[in-house]
Structure 1
Amino acid sequence: MKRFLRKVTMTLVLGCILSVGFGQSRSKDNDATRSRAVVKVLPESKKQKIISIGGNYCQANYKGDAWDLVGEATLEEFKPTHVRVALPLQFWLDYKVYKGKRILKQPAVISLLRAMKRMKEKYGVVSFTLSVWRVPNELVENPEAYNKRRIKPEYYGEVIDMIEAFLVEAKERYDVEVDYFSFNESNGGYMTLFTPEETIEFFKLAGPRFEQAGLKTVFLWGDTSSTKPTVAFASKIAADPSIVKYLGPLSFHSWWSENLPDSEFERIAALAKKWGRPVWCTELGHNAVAHKTKDYNKNWDYAFRFAKISHRVFKYSGTEVSMFWTWQNNYEIMSADTLTKYPVYYITRHQTDFWNNVQVIDAQSSDKDILSLAGFNADHKMILQLVNLKNEPVVVKLENIPTMTPRVVTSTEHKLWSEKKANLNAGTLTLDAQSVNTLVF
């Protein structure tokens, strides 16, 4: 009987040992499964160079004053070299009061000129893009309309008079030259509508006028309302060889693009390459009507979606200059008094702190839910951004990276900004659930 009990006891002990060993094996198997995400950096495969992480400063169009505290704070902290500003061309006055050069007497226009001079002299802005949303009711076919307002062709000259007056004043009196001009989202009519054919006719008139006035200003090629219509709209404009010399960067806005395949962004890159033009994303964002939802910009979901669309813009469209919508108190990334920073502010810093003047290189991920973007900055340091879309932590194996210990900046819903030195054990790194991570080697 005792011998029997000893056998039973031994059997139970061995069973427990095997069970524990099997459990450990399963645990290791699980770890191995989690570690199967591989990001391989390909330093020899060069993409575009990101010239500037910039922003929109369009309050002159919305508030009648081009300057505000949020704008001043972002200029001071982010130091953008490329910005986009808005020129208001419609005022609730008799049109004769601000027709032609009289536009220069309007307080909002004076405010814009002063702001641009300040941006250049104090904050180091080197490139200005100027856009127009609305023109006087007297010059359009449908003055009662809020959007899709079509300028009467016989009044193109009067619109050009106003734009030219502003550009010359900026150059001669304020020492600011504008590189590019556009009508905002004219393909969709938000708020002035142009067909490609009408765009060509306007450029044929305005291009030579700007040249004769001694201006270097040419036109954004597109400045479209979203990613998908960009190639068709821009291709039709470029079909007229007489105006190609007036076309600047192929530009688009990234609204309404979250559910598009990556190939739509790649089509933009291909068209720009065909014509030898850079790609600019002149409004970087994901939801153009987010402002209709209370506190939309104060939650993590808004910020994380911005991180995802930004990644795709840089990864697939070949964007060299981005302009966040906006870096003022409009789709703001911080409170109006600048004291409270919203989650999207921290995602923005992943770009402004690390991606200016970066030569992008290829980085391939084995897992579609681990987004990767890599490059070398001006100091020849490798920058690697990893976005974990999963709702759980993931172990990622990194290949072709420097041997040094990287600085890692991570943003999550519960910890918006954390920094550490990461010891990459066997070249692996654990990414928090739903996180944005920037590694600097």
Structure 2
Amino acid sequence: MKEQYLSNRLFRAALFLFSICCCLFTSNAYSQAEVEPWGNIRGIRHKGQLYGFESSIRVISEDGRNVYATAKERQQPKYKRSGKSQIVSTRIDSLYFTEAVTDVSGGKVKVVVQADARKDMTVKGVFFCISLPNEEYQYSRVELSGVKNDSLKEAAPEFSNTYLNVRAKSIQFTASKRKLKVSFDQPEMVIVRREPTRGLELYIPVALAEIKSGAKLSKSFTIKTWGEIDEQPISMAINASQQGRIFEGLGGNFRLQNPKTDPQVIDYSLKNLRVAYGRVEMPWRLWQPEKDMDPTAAAREGKLNPAVLKAMQMGKRLDSAGMPVILSAWFPPQWAALGKLNMRPTPEGIWGNQLDPASMDAIYKSITDYILYVKEKYGFEYKMFSFNESDLGINVRATPEEHRDFIKGLGAYMASKGLKTKMLLGDNSDATTYKFIYPALNDPTARPYIGAVSFHSWRGWDTEILQKWADAANQLNVPLIVGEGSIDAAAWNYPDIFQEQTYALEEINLYTRILAICQPITILQWQLTADYSPLIGGGIFGNNEPLHPGQRFWNLKQLANTPKNVYALPITVNGAGVSAAVLGDNSKGVYVLHLVNNGSTRKVTLTGLPVNVKELRYYITTTRLNMKEEKAVEIKNGIAKFKLPAVSYVTLISK
């Protein structure tokens, strides 16, 4: 009996160790191929080092003039993870593709591309393409294996700038610090071109010339990358004497869209995150559906639309938690718009509706009545108002001049009614559309009504573009707000991507860069509801696991752990692959560093903190570590030395 008991214990222990090994293996495997949800591979990681390239599927027209390629927001793809495989389904014209990218071993993946043709087509070719970064592969050597003597007789169609068109069993590009090899089970056609701007490109034909309806196309191969791993030490220097704009903390969007699944995410987020700012919806077209009605009287009589009531109560909940609350309107009522309401873009690609100039006084009154009723009923006043993404038309569309005039018109009307609510300048769909704010930015008569400058972080991440938003806030001497924070506005179409390390790391890396460059007062996560949820399970997106936090949530929690009301401080980073932002308050002796390591493990030497700071608490989030507090970092003679583990988000907070 005792021997049987020991045997069972050993079996359970072995099973436990085996499960841990499986988890570790799976975690490592997940970190290899970085696959975008539209199918493009952007590189393969090994020991944290990303060996970058960009793949795509391209369909080239018969005359060669038109190229249709997989890319962000070009198709309507579906993405899923299955063990070590990432699978993307998408469509170009009448070709329905399935691409599976499977991690094989360190630095090596297997790619299988399949396509079903739904009609007859004549094309120059369907290709899987690999673009090699010019800065690394410009002077690389190309090596072939398994080339037959007669392979040139079976060449694929010629392209301009082609210098290799041959059938081979493998092709390898060898640069000074990188290597990339594509291998086939048997010799296949490969074409190498040199693009003037993009550099070397490898074309692997999936199909050429005529494709018959019902045809089943398929191509499989492996991609292997290897080379030097950048483990060079990083040095960082803080300038604590140059205190910038205040950061009040992480914020969140709370636009209610999913009655069944929103409450659990909101409750969990507000319980487990320090949320410093909130943004809610004004369901305008439900507040006053008819121009000649009195929405305030209807509300007082208990005739509020349930969606309006819940939106107001959401704002009250955030206010009661001590947050400033931003009010944003999406859809206008029909009476306030020009033309029939566009709930979706027109065939010409035009979003939203312009406001009816003849109804502008009624529009000002309708919005102001909403804010006044909330103040009367719930005892708080919204900090600011905006139309969501009016530069694009989601769903009120305005010209830059109309945006300026509306800020002045509504701003003056609200002030005349005794409200302190200000207007958001911008609240743009992306950072790239910064010119939209210039008419109002440069109009002194608009200035009294602007409470903050706002943009959404879906696109436009170049330092030069982000700096323009910081400059605008500085010019007006008002806060900068990231009204919607995240990285892919279409991600709700392929929600499995939210659980990938690739998405989580890119999102927090962007936030760190925004903190350093833009110095916002807050970044409002889109969203802290079931829509784009940072939580997993709970029936959201069809996942019925128990509700629990994913890597993105732990990233947000670590960012939200920033002490209240600290100021941006400059930091210089000597070394590649690490993003850094520093916040502090010299009067309180409080400092926090947010560091994102996009590569392999690095040693860091930090200088510049005041001499009275002796120790830094160390928190880390990775695929396996959830804001884990590690051993504190000691500071000796003003110098701190520590490690940044591979592919990690680290926060250091002064004790």
- Scaled by the length of structure 1, the TM-score of the pair is 0.84
Show the counterpart of 2:508: 307
Show the counterpart of 1:163: 367
Structure-to-structure mapping, 1:38-117, within 5 angstroms:
38-59=235-256, 62-63=257-258, 68-91=263-286, 95=290, 100-101=295-296, 104=299, 105-117=304-316
- Residues 1:332 and 2:529 are matched in the alignment: no
The answer (yes or no) to whether the contact 2:291–2:335 under 8 Å persists in 1 is no
Unaligned runs of 5+ in 2: 1-229, 344-350, 539-545
Aligned-residue offset at 1:152: 1.4
Aligned-residue offset at 1:439: 1.1
Show the counterpart of 2:477: 276
Show the counterpart of 2:496: 295
Structure-to-structure mapping, 1:192-211, within 5 angstroms:
192-211=396-415
> What per-residue deviation string (whole Å, max 9, x for no partner) do you get for residues 41-93 of structure 1?
2211222220232111111xx34799722112222222423211111122499
Q: Which has the higher helix share?
A: 1
The answer (yes or no) to whether the contact 2:431–2:455 under 8 Å persists in 1 is yes
Change (3 A) 1:331 1:87: same
Distance 1:88 1:94 in 2: 10
Distance 2:430 2:574 in 1: 29
- Residues 1:410 and 2:623 are matched in the alignment: no
Give the aligned residue type for 1:285: S
Show the counterpart of 1:237: 440
The answer (yes or no) to whether the contact 1:387–1:436 under 8 Å persists in 2 is yes
The answer (yes or no) to whether the contact 2:235–2:604 under 8 Å persists in 1 is yes
Distance 2:513 2:397 in 1: 28
- Residues 1:154 and 2:362 are matched in the alignment: no
Show the counterpart of 1:181: 385
Show the counterpart of 2:550: 342
The answer (yes or no) to whether the contact 2:513–2:580 under 8 Å persists in 1 is no
Distance 1:176 1:293 in 2: 38
Give the aligned residue type for 1:389: N
The answer (yes or no) to whether the contact 1:238–1:244 under 8 Å persists in 2 is yes
Tell me the C-alpha RMSD between the 2 structures: 2.6
The answer (yes or no) to whether the contact 2:486–2:507 under 8 Å persists in 1 is yes
> What per-residue deviation string (whole Å, max 9, x for no partner) do you get for residues 362-401 of structure 1?
11100131212122258523212221111x2111112234
SS of the residue corresponding to residue 569 of structure 2 reads strand
Distance 1:365 1:46 in 2: 18
Aligned-residue offset at 1:132: 0.3
Distance 2:305 2:441 in 1: 35
Distance 1:419 1:204 in 2: 49
Show the counterpart of 2:648: 435
Show the counterpart of 1:317: 518
Show the counterpart of 1:13: none
The answer (yes or no) to whether the contact 1:98–1:106 under 8 Å persists in 2 is no
Distance 2:287 2:311 in 1: 18
Give the aligned residue type for 1:243: A
SS of the residue corresponding to residue 313 of structure 1 reads helix
Change (3 A) 1:118 1:272: closer
Give the aligned residue type for 2:644: L
Distance 2:582 2:443 in 1: 37
> What per-residue deviation string (whole Å, max 9, x for no partner) do you get for residues 167-219 of structure 1?
01111121010111000010111111011221233233322221222211120
Aligned-residue offset at 1:246: 0.8
Change (3 A) 1:226 1:360: same
The answer (yes or no) to whether the contact 1:329–1:336 under 8 Å persists in 2 is no
Give the aligned residue type for 1:143: K
Give the aligned residue type for 2:580: S
Change (3 A) 1:355 1:299: farther
Distance 2:241 2:394 in 1: 42
Aligned-residue offset at 1:412: 1.3
Change (3 A) 1:204 1:261: closer
Change (3 A) 1:99 1:199: farther
The answer (yes or no) to whether the contact 2:288–2:366 under 8 Å persists in 1 is no
Q: Indicate which of 403, 417, 429 corresponds to 1:213.
A: 417
The answer (yes or no) to whether the contact 1:50–1:357 under 8 Å persists in 2 is yes
Change (3 A) 1:67 1:169: farther
- Residues 1:124 and 2:322 are matched in the alignment: yes
Distance 1:174 1:92 in 2: 16
SS of the residue corresponding to residue 453 of structure 2 reads strand
Distance 2:276 2:297 in 1: 30
The answer (yes or no) to whether the contact 1:170–1:176 under 8 Å persists in 2 is yes
Change (3 A) 1:175 1:93: closer
- Residues 1:139 and 2:340 are matched in the alignment: no
Determine which structure has greater relative contact order: mean sequence separation of CA pairs < 8 Å that are 6+ residues apart, divided by chain length: 1
Aligned-residue offset at 1:282: 1.1
Change (3 A) 1:67 1:320: same
Q: Which moved more, 1:396-405 or 1:325-334?
A: 396-405
The answer (yes or no) to whether the contact 2:284–2:332 under 8 Å persists in 1 is yes
SS of the residue corresponding to residue 402 of structure 2 reads helix
Distance 1:439 1:388 in 2: 14
Distance 2:390 2:400 in 1: 9
Aligned residue pairs, count: 401
Give the aligned residue type for 1:150: Q
Q: Which moved more, 1:233-242 or 1:303-312?
A: 233-242
- Residues 1:190 and 2:385 are matched in the alignment: no
Change (3 A) 1:204 1:320: closer
Give the aligned residue type for 2:322: G
Show the counterpart of 1:385: 594
Aligned-residue offset at 1:234: 1.3
Distance 1:53 1:88 in 2: 25
Change (3 A) 1:150 1:423: closer
The answer (yes or no) to whether the contact 2:289–2:333 under 8 Å persists in 1 is no
Change (3 A) 1:283 1:291: same
Give the aligned residue type for 1:433: A
Distance 2:376 2:641 in 1: 57
Show the counterpart of 1:352: 560
Aligned-residue offset at 1:36: 3.3
Show the counterpart of 2:200: none
Q: Which moved more, 1:187-196 or 1:411-420?
A: 411-420
Q: Which has the higher strand share?
A: 2
Q: Which moved more, 1:151-160 or 1:101-110?
A: 101-110
> What per-residue deviation string (whole Å, max 9, x for no partner) do you get for residues 389-435 of structure 1?
11x21111122346634221111123233211145597321211111
Percent identity, please.
22
Distance 2:289 2:580 in 1: 54
The answer (yes or no) to whether the contact 1:79–1:124 under 8 Å persists in 2 is no
Give the aligned residue type for 2:265: V
Change (3 A) 1:94 1:235: closer
Q: Indicate which of 565, 568, 571 corresponds to 1:363.
A: 571
Aligned-residue offset at 1:97: 9.2
Aligned-residue offset at 1:355: 4.9
SS of the residue corresponding to residue 421 of structure 1 reads strand
